[in-house]
Structure 1
Amino acid sequence: MATASDSVALGSPAGDFRLRGTDGRIYSFDDVAGERGTVIVFICNHCPYVKAVINRAVQDALALQNEGVGFAAICSNDATAYPEDSFDNMKAFATSHGLPFPYLHDEDQSVALTYGAVCTPDFFGYDREGRLRYHGRLDEGRTNQPSPTAPRELLEALRAVAATGIAPAGQKPSMGCSIKWKPGL
């Protein structure tokens, strides 16, 4: 069953983290932040919603990175219950999709809890000061391609944030598979 992202208060500060990337490095928010803004997206390897958007997300990430906006993805799923989301499988996913940004492992799920992430994919866009300005979807596509004339919502919002510090009103929530929480969370 699909889950829609909850509303998180715009203007909230980005949570810091220290997470291992699929390249073996440890990353913090400052390590992935761009001079003009930052996108943090919660994804996983097995979700059909993520699989449907990942190539478009890579295209938009490359465009944003070229414009000074940092980008990173985080997998917070319980890999014991969902072995397809294990760290080794994250490495394979990053390679097979040519991810041009760090793909980070939130093994204890503390970062997803701090950010208020509830689904995959769940996009959080921050301004240059690390304040949340966009919490929504990539575009209108869910498990299907968006229409050819559909706006590139994340890309356009982060371009506005980079230029003015303000994202458009009327942000539409992301929808996808729920984050697979460990027992007791």
Structure 2
Amino acid sequence: MKKLFSLLTTSLALVLLSNFGPASPGYQVGDKVADFRLKNVDGRLVSLAGNQAAKGYIVVFTCNTCPYAKAYESRIIALHQKYAPQGYPVVAINPNDEATVPGDSFAEMQARAASKKYPFAYLQDETQQVAKTFGATRTPHLYVVTRQGPDFVVSYIGAIDDNSEDAKLVKTRYVEQAMTDILTGKPAAISSTKAIGCTIKWKKA
């Protein structure tokens, strides 16, 4: 009887986890990325394939409300300003459930993008399917993807740098180190780090 109860409890936990978060670990370095079409704050639908000039993208799952996301906001803008001219624009994606966090609604995304003058696309992952496919769990959670023929392949996953609180105290800039390698045609020497940030606010079942 105890074994049966334990089995039922474990099964229930797995069902609940599947409703509240990613069902799989998502992409790993070297995986091909499935394209997506998400609504930008200007109302346009944006996809990876839509920018033929892009050599790749810096895809960052972020939001309006997380303190970590706010702390990294200027650094994300700086990444776009540095790497978009080299063919790697930032694409920011907000995966949070707006019913749980009203401050992450589409209207609030539009307001923040306008207020902070975002130079990059800021997309709403309304169904949260893109975040689940990538395996994103935090805001911010960053992925560098590189064009290989018709495909985009993951080259780096994780944190932007080693200080989530103060940009002035950063010692190791993980994304910039990875981009230095990627832009010279090499695999990133450090291709994966631990993302630090708020947990994504998943839709309730």
The 5 A counterparts of 1:133-152 are 133-147=155-169, 150-152=171-173
Question: Aligned with 1:73: secondary structure?
Answer: strand
The 5 A counterparts of 1:155-166 are 155-166=176-187
Contact map agreement 1:124 1:134 (CA 8 A) in 2 = yes
Question: Aligned partners of 1:90 and 1:170: how far apart in 2?
Answer: 30
Match in the other structure for 1:30: 49
Q: Which has the larger radius of gyration?
A: 2
Match in the other structure for 1:181: 202
**What is the aligned residue count?**
178
Match in the other structure for 1:52: 71
Question: Aligned with 2:110: secondary structure?
Answer: helix
Residue 141 and residue 85 in structure 1: after superposition, are their counterparts in 2 closer, same or farther (change >3 A)? Answer: same
1:153 aligns with 2:169: no
- The one-letter amino acid paired with 2:167 is Q
Offset at 1:12? 0.9
The 5 A counterparts of 1:112-127 are 112-127=131-146
- The one-letter amino acid paired with 1:157 is A
Question: Aligned partners of 1:37 and 1:104: how far apart in 2?
Answer: 17
Residue 31 and residue 38 in structure 1: after superposition, are their counterparts in 2 closer, same or farther (change >3 A)? Answer: same
Question: Aligned with 1:128: secondary structure?
Answer: strand
Consecutive unaligned residues of structure 1, counting only runs of 5 or more, are 1-5
Match in the other structure for 1:102: 121
Consecutive unaligned residues of structure 2, counting only runs of 5 or more, are 1-24
- The one-letter amino acid paired with 1:134 is Y
Q: Which of 12, 19, 23 is residue 31 of structure 2 equivalent to?
A: 12
Question: Aligned partners of 1:88 and 1:57: how far apart in 2?
Answer: 21
- The one-letter amino acid paired with 2:137 is V
- The one-letter amino acid paired with 1:60 is L
Deviations 1:105-136 (A, max 9, x none): 01011111111110000000011221101001
1:131 aligns with 2:148: no
Match in the other structure for 1:3: none
Contact map agreement 2:26 2:136 (CA 8 A) in 1 = no
Q: TM-score, normalised by structure 1?
A: 0.89
Question: Aligned with 1:164: secondary structure?
Answer: coil
Question: Aligned partners of 1:7 and 1:168: how far apart in 2?
Answer: 21
Determine which structure has the larger helix proportion and give its number: 2
Contact map agreement 1:127 1:162 (CA 8 A) in 2 = no
Contact map agreement 2:138 2:197 (CA 8 A) in 1 = yes
Offset at 1:174? 1.4
Contact map agreement 1:64 1:159 (CA 8 A) in 2 = no
Question: Aligned partners of 1:33 and 1:120: how far apart in 2?
Answer: 28
Contact map agreement 2:56 2:87 (CA 8 A) in 1 = yes
Question: Aligned partners of 2:102 and 2:200: how far apart in 1?
Answer: 14
Contact map agreement 1:53 1:141 (CA 8 A) in 2 = no
